[in-house]
Amino acid sequence: MTLDPYALCPCGSGKKFKWCCQPFYKDIDRAFTQLRNGQDDAAKKIMEQVVQDHPNTAEVWGRRAELYWELDQRDEAERSLDRALELQPHYATAYLLRGMLRHEEGEIPGALLLYRKATDYFDPSAREQLAEAWFCVGQCEVMLNRPLAVRAAWQIALNLQPANEVVQNSLQKYFETQSPYPTLARKAWSFRSIAPDADPQRAQAWDKALGAAATGKLTDALRAFEQVTAVAPADADAWFNLGLCRAWLGDNAAALEAFDQCVSAELDDDRAGEAWALAEILRFGHGMEESCDWAERMVRYQIVDIQKLGAALKNDRRFTDLRQMESGAVGGVLLERPMPAAHHNLALFELPKLLAYVAITNNALVLQNGNSERLQQARQLVESSLGGAIEFREESLRAPEFVRTFQLLLDLRLPSGIADDLAAKLMREAIVQYLEENWPRRHLRSLGMITPLDAVGHAVLRRKVLGLVNFIDDLTHSYVPLPYNVDRLRHKLGLPMMGAESPAVVSGKPVDISAMNAAELASLNVDELSDADLELAMQTGRRLDASELAGKFARALITRPGNAQSPDRFTAFNHLIQLALAADQPEEALGLVEAGMKHDCEHNEGRRRNDYDLCGAQIYLKAGQPEQAHAAFCRLVERLPSNFDLLGKASEGMLRANRRAEAAEFAEKGAAAARAKGDKDRLGYFEELLAAAKR
């Protein structure tokens, strides 16, 4: 092939061929032809001659690196790249090649830095090389879970080479057809335009910034918006654009700071909500583990006895859904207890909680969960039941895949053979419990460790809650649609809804008590409600932390005659007992325990006897009546002789009341039971109690 000497050089330097690579182009071409024909030695010989003839040309050393890499002589390739960069520190091809070497070794953050340098140093006319470098940037950003940076990089690559099918297909796969991302992360975000009433000087600065971005020079646009925000720190839109620029460049931590400024300066709820939802997406990126509220904890054990592990896994029904995954590892889940059999009125509380996702490779057992309390439970369980087969190695934190967070919302495993409508009902209940009861009470990093329930009362934080709820809303729609209307959550938190009407009330008539907010609950007429509705209203009030309101419904419920459909009234009695205790009225609380127990004996076959006795024992302790407390504990222990929880509570309680002999008695029983079960952790605990009682 002969090249036009006055065309641009194919090496991407931006110079004319004649003044760049022409003197050695043919020889290098010849070396690579020999390589393709399997003549490795001949190829090397030619290349070494070129290097001798042009020892001070970076491009020659770069091509030599490429040749040695193809020959799998990586050290020699690295040395060539060192030499090339010594001769020409901004030699883009060397950064691209070195990036590829790191990439192949799995050193992704290092490879990414090198690729980004290459995109900075290639001449704008080197479209093919630039497109390749940007494509590689996107590939790394995929691994680092930064979808905005992926999309930006591949879009630039496509602008440089519109017919490149690899880039087209990658964009389609990751952002359309089989996207692993939620909709907010798939979206083609664009800069906000300047407000029409902005003063002309600022408009000029904006034009400059937008112009830089339009040419694909993201770093120029970045600098321009840094200047705009420095001059006009109250310009929310400029902060938004700066955040977007930083996110496109994969700098999620800095982008988050810009979005934080944006939300503080923003006066419009919708726009603030949009910015903070986007910020939440950025928290899933590599390096953001410490600021992500959905971060996943991971515990790794080394397998030391695979036979023993295999046998234990086979016999322990708490490990379920074990199957071979695409990666070759075996994956499954660990439940807190074995799954019960399906029956037609299975309730949510009967289902075991998911303690961890489990993965087993050749030599490692890995447990993961976004809920760290559950993961700690999983650790205890695994270490006591698989001891000897595994050895603890490390615990770490990582930003999860988005789909994992989606699974967290639907944190539920169901027994096989369960009817479809019951499964759907339980799923709905689980989501309601997670989103309306647990999530609003979490201390979130995205809210400066404030809970959503508290944050809605604060001007700026309230806008952040809007964004977080938008993110959750997006998650519920992005994969398999979840059976939950997020307006329920907005309504409960007092945030503006997407729909026009309250999800709880249609044309002034209550349709769904569980979706009500406190004001709607308060307006219900107790006498018009069925027993089941009263129970639901009480539960809904408790979820909203409206204890007094819940108490009103509980009080109404316990005065009603027994009901064969819902014979169990423990929840209602217990709520009132807790209210009485909070008001420092132990006598009233004890009266409620007695009344509750009577109702339970008459209508519920005494199924809740133990719960009431435990309540009673603790109230007696509080009220300074240790004899009665001891009697209640003894009744319980007689019925549940090896219940560790109970024995622990009894011993601790008597110890607090300074009844050492009785405390020691319960601790002895606990220690004996622990010894019988070979439970070392619990044995240690009871021995400590015993020592304290005898001190």
Residues near Zn ion, by CB under 5 A:
9, 11, 13, 20-21
Instruction: Output 14 or 641, the one with its CB closest to Zn ion.
Output: 14
Least Å from the CB of residue 20 to Zn ion: 3
The burial of 640, by beta-carbon neighbours within 10 Å (0-12 exposed, 13-18 middle, 19 or more buried), is given as middle
The encoded tokens of residue 498 equal 């997407």
Least Å from the CB of residue 91 to Zn ion: 11
Instruction: Output 13 or 446, the one with its CB closest to Zn ion.
Output: 13
DSSP run (H or E) holding 209? helix 200-214
- Answer for the pair 306, 312: CB distance below 8 angstroms, yes or no: no
Least Å from the CB of residue 152 to Zn ion: 29
Least Å from the CB of residue 458 to Zn ion: 60
Block residue for tokens 């004001």? 519
Q: Is the dihedral of CA 644, 649, 651, 652 positive or negative?
A: positive
Instruction: Output 31 or 171, the one with its CB closest to Zn ion.
Output: 31
- What are the backbone angles phi and psi of residue 436, rounded to the nearest 5°? -100, -20
- What are the backbone angles phi and psi of residue 287, rounded to the nearest 5°? 90, -5
Which residue type, as a one-letter code, is found at position 620?
A: Y
- What are the backbone angles phi and psi of residue 619, rounded to the nearest 5°? -70, -40
Residue 450 is given by DSSP the state: B
44-47, Cβ contacts within 8 angstroms, sequence gap of 24 or more: 44/71
How many whole angstroms separate alpha carbon 486 and alpha carbon 500?
13
Least Å from the CB of residue 163 to Zn ion: 24
Block residue for tokens 């690559």? 157
The burial of 667, by beta-carbon neighbours within 10 Å (0-12 exposed, 13-18 middle, 19 or more buried), is given as buried
- What are the backbone angles phi and psi of residue 100, rounded to the nearest 5°? -65, -35
Residue 288 is given by DSSP the state: -
Instruction: Output 16 or 217, the one with its CB closest to Zn ion.
Output: 16
Least Å from the CB of residue 8 to Zn ion: 9
How many whole angstroms separate alpha carbon 633 and alpha carbon 483?
44
Strand partners, 397: 297
DSSP run (H or E) holding 45? helix 40-53
Instruction: Output 20 or 621, the one with its CB closest to Zn ion.
Output: 20
Least Å from the CB of residue 56 to Zn ion: 14
Residue 405 is given by DSSP the state: H
CB under 8 Å to 492, separation ≥6 — which residues?
A: 436, 440, 515, 517, 543, 544
Nearest of 642, 649, 620 to residue 632 by alpha carbon? 620
User: Could you write out the DSSP letters of every residue in 465-502?
Assistant: HHHHHHHHHHHHHHSSPPS--THHHHHHHTPPPSSSS-
Instruction: Output 3 or 672, the one with its CB closest to Zn ion.
Output: 3
Instruction: Output 56 or 169, the one with its CB closest to Zn ion.
Output: 56
Least Å from the CB of residue 15 to Zn ion: 6
Instruction: Output 11 or 84, the one with its CB closest to Zn ion.
Output: 11
Instruction: Output 20 or 399, the one with its CB closest to Zn ion.
Output: 20
Least Å from the CB of residue 41 to Zn ion: 27
Q: How many CB atoms lie within 10 A of CB 535?
A: 21
Least Å from the CB of residue 11 to Zn ion: 3
How many whole angstroms separate alpha carbon 14 and alpha carbon 350?
70
Instruction: Output 85 or 672, the one with its CB closest to Zn ion.
Output: 85
Least Å from the CB of residue 128 to Zn ion: 13
Least Å from the CB of residue 370 to Zn ion: 51
How many whole angstroms separate alpha carbon 509 and alpha carbon 287?
50
Instruction: Output 9 or 637, the one with its CB closest to Zn ion.
Output: 9
Instruction: Output 20 or 356, the one with its CB closest to Zn ion.
Output: 20
Least Å from the CB of residue 288 to Zn ion: 40
How many whole angstroms separate alpha carbon 452 and alpha carbon 461?
8
How many whole angstroms separate alpha carbon 651 and alpha carbon 676?
19
- What are the backbone angles phi and psi of residue 358, rounded to the nearest 5°? -115, 135
Residue 360 is given by DSSP the state: E
Instruction: Output 21 or 521, the one with its CB closest to Zn ion.
Output: 21
State in Å, rounded, how far the first CA of the chain is from the last one: 95
How many whole angstroms separate alpha carbon 596 and alpha carbon 656?
27
Least Å from the CB of residue 67 to Zn ion: 16
The encoded tokens of residue 560 equal 């009603």
Least Å from the CB of residue 25 to Zn ion: 8
Instruction: Output 11 or 455, the one with its CB closest to Zn ion.
Output: 11
Instruction: Output 28 or 529, the one with its CB closest to Zn ion.
Output: 28
The encoded tokens of residue 537 equal 């209203």
